[in-house]
Structure 1
Amino acid sequence: MTTERKVSFNSRGLNVVGILRSPDTSATNRKRAAIVVSHPGGGVKEQTAGLYASLLTEQGYITLAFDAAYQGESSGEPRGLEDPAQRVEDIKSAVTYLSLLPEVDTERIGGLGICASGGYINFAAQTDVRIKAVAGVSSVDFGQMIREGVKDTAAASPASAIAGTLEAAAKARLAEAKGEEYAQLPFAPDDPATVPDVYPALYKEAADYYRTPRGGHCRSTNRFPLRSTDLLANFDAFAFNHLISPRPLLMIAGSDADTKYFSEIAIEKAKEPKELFVVPGKTHIALYDDSSVVLPKLVDFYSKSISK
């Protein structure tokens, strides 16, 4: 049996709440290696991040899955704000928290990001050399998605569209400052049945995961303030991925994922050692709760990089 406890740590003045999991003494000896697990945009630590954290702990790793600032049980106003700088700082602060634990070997800390956090974990590791191994599952550069939508799909946006988005974000900022109701956006459609068939599978699948008992959680509200878009629009998750080397990078994506190209970009921008691992027949959201292929790959990756 693994053990888990709720913990909290400071991240740029905000209180971040996480679940620290420790393996049973009978688990494989991973030499006190630990993994920070960061959730998708709009998610919370109890969803896919918590699943992968729990499974990795069963495999012998200490794990820390946490709610990003402004989200879940963590502090920060306005609620739901998606601030890439803060998200990256949360990851770095989680590494600091683990580094201060006597049961963790500071030279054996890895990172795992899912969806938007696949971008954030890459960005964090570019300059935080304490992250000794970097992995992303169904990764997305949220900044590029805000600028362009989902490439080569009905949700793709012309370059001119970002101007309208930023104009709306400016108005939302002013409304918030005046104490007025301000615009918010959904991360996923609220009802899978209302998603038009011409939209990429990602949208219907996201609604099916987040807005149904499959993956829904009461603290995953599916809303973020519109002004998040002016924080995200010039965020570039993978531009400096060459700085991760010589630490290893693993990007995992489904062969049928609308977002697979993000993992390809991450690998293209990186230096060796790097690997793109494609799971046949799987879509973006499918990898959130189907770990049958992903988990063995992650365990192999971390066993060779931070616990050998």
Structure 2
Amino acid sequence: MSNFDIKTNDQQAGVSRRTLLQTVGAGVLAMSALSISGLPATAQEGSTMTTEWDKTFPKNESVDHQKVSFKNRYGITLVGDLYSPQGRSDERLPAIAVSGPFGAVKEQSSGLYAQTMAERGFVTLAFDPSYTGESSGEPRNLASPEINTEDFSAAVDFLGLHASVDREQIGIIGICGWGGMALSAAAIDKRIKAVVSSTMYDISRVFSRGYNDSVTLEQRTQMLEQLGQQRWTDAEAGVTAHGPLSFELQGGEPQFVIDYHGYYRTPRGYHERAANSGYSWTATTPLSFMNLPLLTYIAEISPRPTLLIHGENAHSRYLSETAYANAAEPKELMIIPGATHTDLYDKVDIIPFDKMQSFFEQHLV
């Protein structure tokens, strides 16, 4: 989910045109006025890997934890948390790479998923994507459909070279916007034996077509014109501008935006390095997503299996339903009764870990 500013008085269930344009970020008409200053020092590159436990979830003492780093194909250093079952270091185990949500860091939802799956017998790796968290890359808080898809493959590289991992038994989990990245990675990287997306966002579809595909050609053209003007502004300034701070509630926001605020901007899920916890994406982040659809080749994941998990009451549910329709067998769509989009970030009584365990045990082992 993008963290671009959202302000609307629309109280209806749908999202107004004004909200739509602001939510996807690409249609912000005041793009040239976006601040390029004021980002806290923790948002800048050069921080060292933390050694203390600074997660938003409690540490499980039955799981071994290690901070690791590795490079992707573009030479960007990615930082991750490696989790593994205690007492099994002499075995080669199945492994899972985990990332997401969009605008989050590994100390949040992806780390929770990774530690929980390690409890269940897998070696797992939760990692910060390029340009975010403790991973390298400038400018900070930039996303790319190509580079972030590559990040998953780089995580597979790392796991496949690890002494405790069977490289023929590697799967991936993508949460929210990294659900789309995970499906993209699985389509192109045949080493990935099974893929799970949870509360999936197809960021390229939302940026280019708006929520529920509501953006017209005229609006899309206007968005691209504004993004082009922002490039002039960035080039003249010699520095990349960032958008408004994430999820600053002003009143009248749609419920799903309030839900995001309730995760990222409160003690429930706040983390000082997360873009959605008080920073912002670069103003031109939508550009490449506008023209590079992530799920064009989703059917080519087959014959490897795909599991898509989504909440019944999530505003984003249609994205997983479309992905499921376009995927090839073997595939499964699991709808969690009563769940919203953010419920699947951290509510362990709702997230179907039993299902994910059985899915990977069936298709990796």
What is the TM-score normalised by the length of structure 2?
A: 0.78
Shift, 1:157, TM fit:
3.6
**Aligned twin of 2:360:** 302
**Aligned twin of 1:225:** 282
Q: What do residues 161-196 of structure 1 show as CA deviations (whole Å, max 9, x unaligned)? A: 2222222222222332333565423584223xx342
| Cα separation, 2, equivalents of 1:66 and 1:46 | 9
| Cα separation, 1, equivalents of 2:225 and 2:329 | 41
| Cα separation, 1, equivalents of 2:176 and 2:327 | 18
| Cα separation, 2, equivalents of 1:96 and 1:30 | 19
Are 1:19 and 2:81 an aligned pair? yes
**Aligned twin of 1:291:** 348
1:188–1:203: 8 Å Cα contact kept in structure 2?
no
- The amino acid that maps onto 1:98 is L
* SS state at 2:227 partner: helix
- The amino acid that maps onto 1:210 is Y
Identity of aligned residues (%): 38
* SS state at 2:86 partner: coil
- Higher RCO (C-alpha 8 Å, min separation 6): 2
| Cα separation, 2, equivalents of 1:96 and 1:51 | 22
**Aligned twin of 1:58:** 119
* Residue pairs, 1:73-88, within 5 angstroms: 73-88=134-149
1:42–1:187: 8 Å Cα contact kept in structure 2?
no
* Residue pairs, 1:66-215, within 5 angstroms: 66-151=127-212, 156-180=214-238, 182-186=240-244, 188-191=246-249, 194-197=250-253, 199=254, 201-215=255-269
| Cα separation, 1, equivalents of 2:355 and 2:185 | 22
**Aligned twin of 2:107:** 46
1:21–1:62: 8 Å Cα contact kept in structure 2?
yes
* SS state at 2:335 partner: strand
Q: What do residues 245-265 of structure 1 show as CA deviations (whole Å, max 9, x unaligned)? A: 110000000000111111111
| Cα separation, 2, equivalents of 1:267 and 1:81 | 28
2:80–2:127: 8 Å Cα contact kept in structure 1?
yes
| Cα separation, 2, equivalents of 1:185 and 1:159 | 23
Shift, 1:147, TM fit:
1.6
**Aligned twin of 2:35:** none
* SS state at 1:239 partner: coil
2:168–2:191: 8 Å Cα contact kept in structure 1?
yes
| Cα separation, 2, equivalents of 1:30 and 1:304 | 19
| Structure 1 portions without partners, runs of 5+ | none
* SS state at 2:308 partner: strand
What is the TM-score normalised by the length of structure 1?
A: 0.92
Shift, 1:34, TM fit:
0.3
2:196–2:306: 8 Å Cα contact kept in structure 1?
yes
* SS state at 1:101 partner: coil
1:83–1:232: 8 Å Cα contact kept in structure 2?
yes
- The amino acid that maps onto 1:196 is G
CA-based RMSD: 2.0
Shift, 1:226, TM fit:
1.5
| Cα separation, 1, equivalents of 2:92 and 2:363 | 12
Shift, 1:296, TM fit:
1.2
1:6–1:17: 8 Å Cα contact kept in structure 2?
yes
Inter-CA distance 87–187: structure 2 relative to 1 (3 Å threshold): farther
- The amino acid that maps onto 2:261 is A
Q: What do residues 37-69 of structure 1 show as CA deviations (whole Å, max 9, x unaligned)? A: 011111111110111011111111100111111
Question: Out of 312, 321, 324, which is 1:267 matched to?
Answer: 324
| Cα separation, 2, equivalents of 1:107 and 1:283 | 35
2:92–2:163: 8 Å Cα contact kept in structure 1?
no
| Cα separation, 1, equivalents of 2:339 and 2:233 | 42
* SS state at 1:218 partner: coil
1:33–1:306: 8 Å Cα contact kept in structure 2?
yes
| Cα separation, 2, equivalents of 1:238 and 1:203 | 25
**Aligned twin of 2:270:** 216
| Structure 2 portions without partners, runs of 5+ | 1-61
| Cα separation, 1, equivalents of 2:311 and 2:81 | 27
Shift, 1:83, TM fit:
1.0
Shift, 1:31, TM fit:
5.8
1:133–1:305: 8 Å Cα contact kept in structure 2?
yes
